[in-house]
Amino acid sequence: MSTLPDSRTESDGSAVVRVLSYNIRSLRDDRAALARVIRACAPDLVLVQEAPRFFRWRKAAERLARATGLVHVTGGATTAGPMILSTLRAHVERTEDILLPRTPGLHRRGFATAVVRIGRARLGVLSCHLSLADRERYPQAGLLLERVAALGTPYAVAGGDLNDRPDGRSFRRVAGALTDAWAAKPWGGEFTSPAGDPHQRIDAVFTTAGIEVLGCGVPHTLPGVHAGDLRSASDHLPVLAALRVPADA
């Protein structure tokens, strides 16, 4: 299995960016294990789902950021769960927290979005957690695509917990318009849920055209990532992608 490229800036101005998507189950599991996994993945951007969103949620988000050597960019309670963290390598141009239409009797959903610059590369970013209910999830997949387009950037990455498998209609709706990074360049493990006995891929990273996927998958064999920590950190496994983003023209 090939190694996953490290973050770097290329001579042509393009940037190799590591993006981690991770459902952290509201920090209800082993927080120390979670921090170790995230640090070992060395991400530039972390697309979080089920971030803290209730009592003192901002303090909990900041503690997670400090424990992982990252900064809180946007999201949390303001998006009903999705959140974005980053390294200082990413210069944040703007953010927008979006709450999706509420369906009576179902959990409120939202998107955390940002536009960042990493070197000369300009990138739109979206973290999502789609509905458990298919009747709500499918239109949310359409709203995801609309929001990615509305970021107004030449390149964008979206990731999260889709609550749908690759053969499901919501997953296929997103993958039909964006590049499914695992399908483009599989690396590491495929299945993300549940963490103790993974048998389905419901978490994913997607990119717009022009971004080169250098590898994407569950970082089972990454140095510093231990099986015990992956099982203890959350009920989902993370998805790590290395992407080459062209310089902004």
Which pLDDT value is given to residue 25? 96
Residues 6+ apart with CB under 8 A from 121: 13, 14, 15, 17, 155, 245, 246, 247, 248
In the chain, where do the E strands start and end? 8-9, 15-23, 45-49, 71-75, 83-86, 91-99, 110-118, 121-129, 156-161, 179-180, 203-207, 212-217, 239-245
Residues of the chain where predicted confidence (pLDDT) is lower than 50: 1
Quote the CA–CA distance of 112 and 96 in Å, as a whole number. Answer: 7
Which pLDDT value is given to residue 1? 46
Quote the CA–CA distance of 69 and 87 in Å, as a whole number. Answer: 7
Under CATH, which architecture does the 8-245 domain have?
Answer: 4-Layer Sandwich (3.60)
Residues 6+ apart with CB under 8 A from 135: none
Torsion of CA 51, 52, 58, 62, to 10 degrees: -60
Quote the CA–CA distance of 81 and 22 in Å, as a whole number. Answer: 12
Contact (CB, 8 A) for 189 and 181: no
Paired strand residues for 75: 83
What b-and-e string marks burial along 204-240, b requiring 16 or more CB atoms within 10 Å of the CB? bbbbbeebebbbbbbbeebeebeeebbbbbbebbbbb
Quote the CA–CA distance of 246 and 120 in Å, as a whole number. Answer: 8
Residue spans per domain, the chain: 8-245
Which pLDDT value is given to residue 3? 86
Which pLDDT value is given to residue 54? 87
What b-and-e string marks burial along 122-160, b requiring 16 or more CB atoms within 10 Å of the CB? bbbbbbbbbbeeeebbbbbbebbbebbeebebbbbbbbb
